Amino acid sequence: MRFSDLLDAARNHPLDVSIPAEWAQGRATFGGLVVALEYEALRAQVPADRPLRSLAITFVGPVAPDVPARYEVEVLREGKAVSQLLGRVVQNGETMTLVQASFGASRPSQIDVAAEPAPTFKHWDECQELPYVKGVTPEFMRHLAMRWSVGGLPFTGNKSREMGGWVRLRGDVKEEPLTEAHILALVDAWPPSVLPHLTQPAPGSTLTWTIEFVQPLQTLSTLDWCQYRVHIEHARDGYGHAAAQLWSPDGQLIAISRQSVVVFA
From first to last of its 265 residues, what are the pLDDT tens digits of the chain?
A: 899 999 999 998 989 999 999 999 988 999 999 999 999 999 999 999 999 999 999 999 999 999 999 999 999 999 999 999 999 999 999 999 999 999 999 999 999 999 999 999 999 999 999 999 998 899 999 999 999 999 999 999 999 999 999 999 998 788 999 999 999 999 999 999 999 999 999 989 999 999 999 999 999 999 999 999 999 999 999 999 999 999 999 999 999 999 999 999 8
Strands (E), the chain: 24-25, 28-29, 52-59, 70-78, 82-91, 94-104, 128-129, 144-150, 162-169, 204-213, 226-236, 239-247, 253-263
Q: Of 53, 74, 107, at which residue does a domain stop? A: 107
**Spatial distance between the Cα atoms of 102 and 98, rounded to a whole number of angstroms:** 13
Number of H helices, E strands in the chain: 3, 13
Instruction: Say if residue 60 is in the same domain as residue 119.
Output: no
State residue 265's pLDDT score. 87
Instruction: Say if residue 77 is in the same domain as residue 120.
Output: no
Total domains in the chain come to: 2
Instruction: Say if residue 171 is in the same domain as residue 190.
Output: yes
**Spatial distance between the Cα atoms of 148 and 36, rounded to a whole number of angstroms:** 24
State residue 27's pLDDT score. 87
Q: Of 107, 137, 165, at which residue does a domain stop? A: 107
Instruction: Say if residue 26 is in the same domain as residue 150.
Output: no
Contact by Cβ (8 Å): 167, 225: yes
Global pTM? Answer: 0.96
Instruction: Say if residue 45 is in the same domain as residue 144.
Output: no
CATH number of the domain bearing residue 62: 3.10.129.10
State residue 26's pLDDT score. 87
**Spatial distance between the Cα atoms of 253 and 96, rounded to a whole number of angstroms:** 31
Instruction: Say if residue 103 is in the same domain as residue 134.
Output: no
Instruction: Say if residue 221 is in the same domain as residue 258.
Output: yes
State residue 168's pLDDT score. 97
State residue 174's pLDDT score. 82
Torsion of CA 135, 141, 147, 151, to 10 degrees: -70
Measured from the Cβ of residue 97, the count of other Cβ atoms closer than 10 Å reads 25
| Of the candidates 156, 141, 253, the residue with the CA atom closest to the CA atom of residue 198 | 156
State residue 21's pLDDT score. 96
Instruction: Say if residue 87 is in the same domain as residue 146.
Output: no
On the question of a cis peptide bond just before residue 216, with omega within 30 degrees of 0, the verdict is yes
Helix spans in the chain (H):
3-12, 31-43, 180-188
Structural domain boundaries enclosing 14: 1-107
State residue 32's pLDDT score. 97
Contact by Cβ (8 Å): 144, 186: yes
| Of the candidates 249, 227, 188, 174, the residue with the CA atom closest to the CA atom of residue 36 | 188
Instruction: Say if residue 139 is in the same domain as residue 73.
Output: no
SS3 helix, strand, coil % of the chain, rounded to 5? 15, 40, 45
Instruction: Say if residue 93 is in the same domain as residue 119.
Output: no
